Chain A
Amino acid sequence: MTHRAPASRTLKVDAIARVEGEGAMYVDIRGGEVHDVQLQIYEPPRFFEAFLRGRRYTEPADITARICGICPVAYQMSACAAIEDACGATVDGPLRDLRRLLYCGEWIESHALHVHLLHAPDFLGYAGAVDLAADHADLVQRGLDIKKVGNQVLEVVGGRAIHPVNVKVGGFYRVPTRAELAPLAERLRWALDASIDVVRWVSTFEFPDHHHPLEVVALRHPDEYAVVGGRLVSDRGLDIVPAEFDDHVVETHVERSTALHAHLVERGEFLVGPMARFALNRSQLAPPALAVADEVGLGADERNPFRSIVVRSVEVVHAVAEALAIIEAYEPPDRPAVDVSPRAGVGFGWTEAPRGTLWHRYELDEDGTILDARIVPPTAQNQPAIEHDLFHLVADHAGLDDAALQHLCEQAIRNFDPCISCATHFLDLRVDRS
């Protein structure tokens, strides 16, 4: 039983576990009313946007990958898209398909990690996956095996699971043969069935009832469940191209965080990531993903962040099915990369990282030297949304005792799969030239 909670108290969690990076939480309740909720990011800054200045246009694919070991491909893909935009180059056909395949590997790896190792233990009452495995080794091992298939895709196409070496502006250094992809297809066919079973499993968890809808924002592509390219849209009328991002999303620097906070102009907090993508693009999921979403009753109107584990699991099914389809249709391109010649200008690019839209902007001089760089990662965009969500969660559950409330809040933060390592490396890179 919970104790009766005092009317005024503060809660502090100094290190949030099972998230990527270092963050803390602060809750202030006064007279029974929630006064303040803060997600504090104390991950030390690494100044990527500062040291990218003066580097060559060929380097951000390798350098920005190091912002995040969990989603390096997202950085590589958004960086390449922005630089190719600046240089007027287009990467399409089988090279674009290979990029999508690589990205599928990252979605599988990152989502399977979050679902099984970081998030599921919350719903089943364990401190982590190792404790969970003591009772349910088969369930954890299945999750690890699905994750491994994602890593195998990354290794075969990208050369390495973390910080792939095979990505360059214009395409790849070397493209795989059909024979090299064949063993992957075999593993992916196993993962398709296994990941569908995971959706069924996680959908049976008990989810706290919690709905405080935010504007949902994601890329949308006419022909695909958008991952590389498309327009940025929302459920409240946003519909923009990459060059317009800056006019609609503003970032502010608050004292409690080494990550900037993003807001939509005149509208406020918004949500990117799996819940947003699913809400906006559900009908474009691969057939097996759509079928299992229907089966477990997950509709496009789903807004309970606690159910994000089900959405993430459905996206794993989608990524597995997409990867299989790409491999089955694959014909190696004539050359591993298109030529990208530098020219003076500004380029913009975005893709859907596992955690949401990741936007890059580069300004180049005529020989391809980077004059200015800006990166807005998904967690910086979601940070105000997470605080908004926590505020309402605390208000709705202010009667819980400290331990129970703290546990609920930590769980709520993990619902968003925040990547704090990412968020910290992207603050406003704009140089004030006035």
Chain B
Amino acid sequence: MRIKSFLSLLVSFSMLVPTGAGAVEGLSGTLTPKLSLFDYTGGGKAERAHFLQRYDYAKSWFGQNISGAYMDLDLSLAYSGLTGHSFLLERRGEGLSDQSGLFRYDSDYVGVSGMYGHHRSVAVGVDYLLRPNNVPGGTDASYTGTGSGYVATFNDDSDGAFFRVDRTNYGAEVKVKPALLGDMASLSVKHDGYRRTGNSYATWTAGGSDFTIGAPQSHRWRGYNRPIEETMNRGSIGFAASPMGWFQFAYDGSVEKFVSRAQNFTMAYAASRPSVLAAGATMTAGNRIKPVHFVPDSTLTTHALRLSRTFKNSAWAAGYGMSVLGQDSFTPVQITGAYGEGKIASKNLFLSGKARVLPALETEGYIKYGNRRNDSTFPAGTFLTATTDQKLDLRLNDLKTVEYGLSAALRPAGSRSSLGAGWKRENKKRGFTYNNSAGGTGILPKRMLYTEESVSDEVSVKGVLRPTEGLDIRLTPSYQWSDKLGSPLDSKESVNLKADASYMTDGGTVFAAYYALKDKRNDSLSFTNANTPTGADGSQTPQTTRNVLNSAGASMSVACTPKVNSSLSADWMQNDFQYAYITSNRRRYAATPAGGIVFRRRDGSRSIIDTTTLGLATDWQAADSLKVSGSYSLSRSKGNVATGLLATELGSTNDGAVDNDTHSLSFGAEYGMTSALTLSGQYSFDHYQDNRNAFLSGSGHAVTTALAYKF
């Protein structure tokens, strides 16, 4: 690596010779060739993915991701003419796997812009490292259930693939400015999209009868190399006008086409795996065509219309939007089942108004309406029906949401402080189709914690105090309660508080602090037993949840001396979640009068996870032409995922707790060689320590040198 890196360095410097592009009036820019060297140790498998690279993948010239070097060029060119024409071209690159660029041309009449970005993520490769047969307790060889073997044997079909996803975004837009349209309107036409390619690790489980003979249970649970080959292209048009300045009007419409070229993956692949063939397990033709994680092609069409009008003491805004998402490709099972349409239609509407009823008092009111409707084919053949066992659990036919609220804010004349109070109400209505199969099975509302209606109210106070120059204090407490709960994700009652303050001294030192609390409780949803042999309602098992989210932080940014600027920040976040661990003697939809169902609260469980972050940074102008900087950051997450019985069971795995630290340290220097040339260098060191999944622990070093040529 090192020898090749020296070669890279030479090539890099060869690009630094000024090109003769002297300064032109109105033209300015910076060319910054860079050379980066990196080296990672530990933290996953070298041929696959390193944990520290999961979102920030470095790719060497030599095709390696663990150690190597790459050269790149940052570019910024700007031209500004006195006649109103301006042009900007920028590029940022961190090797082949991470780069972006944009261009923009503006005149008084039109604006033209474009962008691209390319980013590689290997987070999906980290998933692979955590596959069930690769971590302690991930599978259960002692599981001897007759009729099921879901968590006994896991079959890895990925054959050592390298998992990564490359995403390339692109877009271009032309805007016609008001100066060309009578100073009344503007028009924009835009095209954007992306291409996403690569592969990820995915798991699936076949049905109980999908494999036959040859120890079928042991073949059902599988993981495979899932191909990804997707494109999205979207065309948009926007028109805005302000006729005679009476009101503002805007229309936005788009058509978006999503295509997945890696969708035709079916269970058939598993039937031909060597281990399956060797065991003599087979799969019927009907099962072979079952899709695995099918991603359909789809088209989304949207229209949005907005109006607003501002008067001397009031303002109004209204909008209507609708979208239709249609499915463009179908699986063999869907085609056989005459599932000819996949369609989700949405409508949204809002009306907002605010008025200054007194010089110091502003009031506001709003209403929002939303309707999501599932217009897909239903029922469809034998695979999607409410009258057959295990062919539908619950169908959400439509979701209607109405939200409205009122608020008032007091802003005394001449004061920069304000005090406001508000109330809002939200009502959600869900239209369900429940399975009610001929055999008497099927899920009933009383066996679920998901209901047809949610109704909640919230009152809040918002205070903004600016008692003296430089001091800002914000305080926002609120209380929310529900008359009807839709699911445990709602809250029966919730107490929230957000408080933050900042103070800037005359010398420019900034102190800031914040605290936030969200305490959410829910204790009014229950599972209801079905007694045998009558099927009458039996006792109830309530789900009681409480989620307390705390976060607090403080930061300081200070000029220690005229030449030294430092900042310090510390944050703490705690997620405390309590819930009940509930099981049932049979599947909820399988309860019949003869069979009944009994829910049982096994135990209560609590998860508390704390995350602490710390950041330190300093810049030192050591000399007129030399600036030195350094920074350190720490992120530490630690806590348990469960307590009691669940903690005991999870104790045999790596997943009962979270315990990890990420340290990042960097030093850098910038040296102004001439007024046009700046040489910079930076060394950074990252270390991830995972005390639960030790194989993810590792370190990364990177050195980057750059020479910026300004003109």
Chain B binds chain A: no
Which A residues contact B (CB, under 8 angstroms)? none
Which B residues contact A (CB, under 8 angstroms)? none
